[in-house]
């Protein structure tokens, strides 16, 4: 492909061709099958065009400049907290469907992607709270948030533990997920000061002073074990949201001082080095973006604390440290302007230290954003999912994130929460308020899954963000990416206008072999349309659309 600038010019029209509706979101029980098969890169050979209703069109002018490059993308992911260990262990057919939705890159003959092709899977290194039950400090109401560990109190390893988590790891590997990140919420209970997975230490670590090396050895040993089994354990993230005290009884957690995090990172770096592992240490996992650049050096201001050589917590020179800061997108997305202001400060602080930015955890935890369009009772599941696209967009373009991950891949919808906390809704056999996951339940893909898929399925590790110029607003925005071999151009566009579609007239890039759109709306889930190379590109009202050019 010739790296020149391509222009997309808005063209006024009264009707459009786009994709027909399809709804694969509901799953009935399927016969148990083999592992999902990996697929070739989507879109090369499919040819699906179907009519849809007519819309009044908006006009937009967009230009793509592949010669202007930004960050290299490193992956899109989600985590296996908390239910996957139960579902993967006790369910049969529907656990396979979940795996397909999360990991598959296959596209069926009718043009429907079978999944969102996550390229990163975050695996919880549990603290062993499941083995000791209520004594762990995690109360029985939250028993599904307890987690197993591979190391017993007697000091022996049992690699048969975490069976459900290992099931989803295996499915991810079968589908060629590129990266596995091991992360920790709490040190192992045998290493904590109170013998529990939650903390009584306030702002300080619950890890015993003489157990830093032991806990680092454990994390490195788990990484070594799975690397030997063929998993690319690309990173270990040893602490989670250290700015919180985690003194409640709902899940594993511990507060940390920056100096304590640095001490553990040094021990982990040594443990990885002794095993000759190339696994990197991902540091930070700040509870909010503001903790990465603001506040004091004791628990906050993590970019300065870990990457300024004058800081007592400096670890930027350790061989295994990823030159990146990890943060979570919670609490900073009430409106377009706020999220951009906060994220620009993240980027400025990271750029000053020459490090990358990873967004490692988000769900719609907060009170409803002021620009969501109403209360959670009033808005739709797609409204929530489309708002997520605003956050992904600003995390990538303003904060400069090279990696973006959702929080819980699967959860139960209760108390009118809709799809705020999951990509896939799971319902136990006893109903949504049951905590018993030992019998097969039902599953449903939410719009969150498909909107994330507009990014994750097409923007693979190694793709680089390139110049995209448009009249950007909170209601129309987009990004563009080039594959490492220049064989594919990917554009992701979000249109918030509920009444008007967008017509884009683009001169076909030189050498184009095929071109597709993949549209997600309230009624479409990454629905594919192949368009003729001289045709206009049509963007549906209220949609997230990925445009793919293959060269």
Q: Is the pLDDT of residue 46 over 80?
A: no
pLDDT-derived band of residue 54, with 50, 70 and 90 as boundaries?
low
By C-alpha distance, which of 113, 24, 18 is closest to 541? 18
Mean predicted confidence (pLDDT) in 349-356: 98
Mean predicted confidence (pLDDT) in 311-319: 98
DSSP designation for 267: H
Q: Is the pLDDT of residue 62 over 90?
A: no
Q: Which two tokens stand for residue 195?
A: 């013998």
Q: Which two tokens stand for residue 190?
A: 């045998």
DSSP percent split of the chain into helix, strand, coil, nearest 5: 25, 25, 50
Mean predicted confidence (pLDDT) in 371-398: 98
Q: How far apart are CA 442 and CA 457, in angstroms?
A: 24
pLDDT score for 30 = 34
Q: What is the DSSP string of 210-248?
A: GGHHHHHHHHHHHHHHHHHTT--EEEEE--S-TTS---S
pLDDT-derived band of residue 28, with 50, 70 and 90 as boundaries?
very low
Work out the burial of residue 69: count CB atoms within 10 Å of its CB; fewer than 13 is exposed, 13-18 middle, 19 or more buried.
middle
pLDDT, tens digit, for every residue of 178-219?
999 999 999 999 999 999 999 999 999 999 999 999 999 999
Q: H or E element: which one contains 454? A: helix 447-456
Q: Is the pLDDT of residue 8 over 50?
A: no
pLDDT score for 15 = 26
Give residue 111's Cα distance to chain centre: 24
Q: Is the pLDDT of residue 315 over 80?
A: yes
pLDDT score for 60 = 83
> Exposure pattern of 293-319 as b/e (b: 16+ CB <10 Å)?
bbeebebbbbbbbbbbeebebbbbebe
Residues 518, 393, 494, 458, Cα dihedral to 10°? -10
- Numbered ranges of CATH 2.60.40 in the chain: 6-71+475-550
State the average pLDDT for the chain: 91
Question: Among the listed ranges 37-51, 227-241, 251-265, which one has the minimum average pLDDT value?
Answer: 37-51
Residue 94's region, left for phi above 0, alpha for psi from -120 to 50, else beta, is: alpha
Q: How far apart are CA 279 and CA 80, in angstroms?
A: 20
Q: How far apart are CA 326 and CA 236, in angstroms?
A: 12
* Other CB atoms within 10 A of residue 484 CB: 12
Strands (E), 206-364: 233-237, 280-286, 321-328, 356-361
CB 368 within 8 A of CB 418: no
Q: Is the pLDDT of residue 253 over 90?
A: yes
pLDDT, tens digit, for every residue of 104-118?
999 998 889 999 999
Q: Directed axis angle between helix 163-174 and helix 93-103, to 10°?
A: 50
Mean predicted confidence (pLDDT) in 311-318: 98
Q: What is the DSSP string of 66-88?
A: EEEEEEEP-EEEEE--STHHHHH
pLDDT score for 113 = 97
Q: How far apart are CA 40 and CA 106, in angstroms?
A: 7
pLDDT score for 13 = 28
Q: Directed axis angle between helix 447-456 and helix 381-397, to 10°?
A: 30
Query: 6-71+475-550: which CATH architecture?
Result: Sandwich (2.60)
pLDDT-derived band of residue 380, with 50, 70 and 90 as boundaries?
very high
pLDDT-derived band of residue 267, with 50, 70 and 90 as boundaries?
very high
User: Which is higher by pLDDT, 11 or 439?
Assistant: 439
- Numbered ranges of CATH 3.20.20.80 in the chain: 74-464
Q: With pLDDT > 70 as the criterion, what percentage of the chain qualifies?
A: 89
Q: Is the pLDDT of residue 287 over 70?
A: yes
Paired with 122 in beta bridges are 79, 181
Q: The dihedral of CA 39, 43, 47, 52: what is its sign?
A: positive
Q: The dihedral of CA 137, 138, 140, 143: what is its sign?
A: negative
At 191, phi and psi to the nearest 5?
-105, -5
By C-alpha distance, which of 461, 470, 458, 448 is closest to 389? 448
Fold of 74-464: TIM Barrel (3.20.20)
Q: How far apart are CA 452 and CA 279, in angstroms?
A: 26
pLDDT-derived band of residue 16, with 50, 70 and 90 as boundaries?
very low
pLDDT-derived band of residue 55, with 50, 70 and 90 as boundaries?
low
Work out the burial of residue 378: count CB atoms within 10 Å of its CB; fewer than 13 is exposed, 13-18 middle, 19 or more buried.
exposed
CB 476 within 8 A of CB 497: yes
Q: What is the DSSP string of 114-143?
A: SS---SEEEEE---SHHHHGGGGS--GGGG
pLDDT-derived band of residue 242, with 50, 70 and 90 as boundaries?
very high
Q: Is the pLDDT of residue 329 over 80?
A: yes
């Amino acid at each position: 492909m010739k790296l020149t600038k391509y222009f997309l010019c808005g063209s006024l029209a009264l009707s459009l061709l786009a994709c027909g509706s399809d709804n694969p979101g509901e799953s009935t029980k399927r016969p148990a099958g083999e592992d999902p098969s990996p697929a070739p890169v989507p879109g090369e050979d499919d040819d699906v065009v179907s009519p849809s209703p007519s819309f009044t069109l908006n006009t937009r002018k967009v230009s793509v400049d592949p010669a202007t490059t930004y960050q290299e993308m490193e992956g899109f992911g989600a985590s296996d907290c908390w239910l996957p260990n139960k579902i993967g262990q006790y369910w049969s057919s529907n656990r396979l469907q979940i795996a397909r939705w999360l990991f598959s890159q296959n596209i069926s003959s009718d043009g429907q992607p079978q999944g969102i092709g996550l390229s990163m899977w975050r695996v919880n290194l549990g603290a062993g709270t499941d083995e000791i039950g209520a004594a762990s400090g995690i109360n029985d109401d939250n028993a599904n948030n307890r987690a197993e560990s591979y190391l017993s109190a007697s000091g022996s390893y049992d690699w048969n533990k975490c069976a459900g988590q290992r099931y989803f790891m295996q499915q991810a590997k079968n589908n060629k997920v590129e990266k596995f990140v091991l992360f920790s919420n709490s040190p192992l209970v045998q290493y904590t000061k109170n013998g529990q997975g939650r903390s009584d230490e306030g702002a300080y670590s619950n890890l015993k002073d003489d157990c830093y090396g032991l806990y680092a050895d454990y994390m490195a040993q788990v990484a070594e074990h799975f690397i030997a089994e063929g998993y690319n354990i690309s990173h270990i993230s040893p602490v989670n949201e250290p700015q919180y005290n985690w003194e409640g009884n709902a899940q594993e957690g511990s507060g940390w001082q920056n100096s304590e995090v640095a001490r553990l990172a040094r021990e982990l770096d040594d443990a990885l080095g002794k095993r000759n592992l190339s696994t990197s240490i991902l540091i930070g996992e700040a509870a909010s973006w503001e903790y990465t650049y603001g506040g004091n050096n004791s628990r906050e201001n993590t970019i300065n604390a870990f990457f300024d050589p004058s800081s007592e917590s400096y670890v930027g020179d350790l061989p295994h440290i990823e030159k990146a800061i990890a943060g979570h997108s919670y609490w900073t997305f009430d409106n377009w302007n706020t999220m951009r202001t906060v994220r620009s400060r993240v980027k400025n602080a990271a750029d000053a230290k020459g490090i990358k930015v990873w967004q490692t955890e988000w769900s719609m935890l907060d009170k409803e954003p002021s620009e969501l369009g109403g209360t959670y009772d009033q808005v739709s599941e797609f409204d929530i999912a489309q708002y997520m696209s605003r956050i992904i967009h600003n995390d990538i373009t303003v904060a400069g994130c090279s990696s973006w991950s959702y929080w819980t891949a699967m959860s139960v919808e209760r108390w009118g929460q809709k799809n705020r906390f999951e990509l896939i809704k799971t319902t136990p056999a006893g109903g949504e308020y049951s905590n018993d996951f030992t019998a097969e339940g039902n599953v449903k893909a939410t719009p969150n899954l498909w909107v994330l898929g507009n990014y994750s399925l097409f923007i693979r590790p190694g793709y680089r963000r390139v110049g995209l110029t448009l009249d950007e607003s909170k209601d129309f925005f987009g990004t563009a990416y080039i594959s490492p071999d220049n064989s594919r151009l990917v554009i992701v566009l979000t249109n918030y206008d509920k009444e008007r579609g967008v017509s884009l007239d683009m001169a076909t890039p030189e050498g184009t072999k095929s071109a597709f759109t993949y549209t997600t709306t309230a009624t479409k889930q990454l629905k594919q349309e192949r368009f003729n190379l001289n045709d206009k590109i049509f963007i549906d009202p209220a949609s997230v659309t990925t445009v793919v050019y293959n060269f």
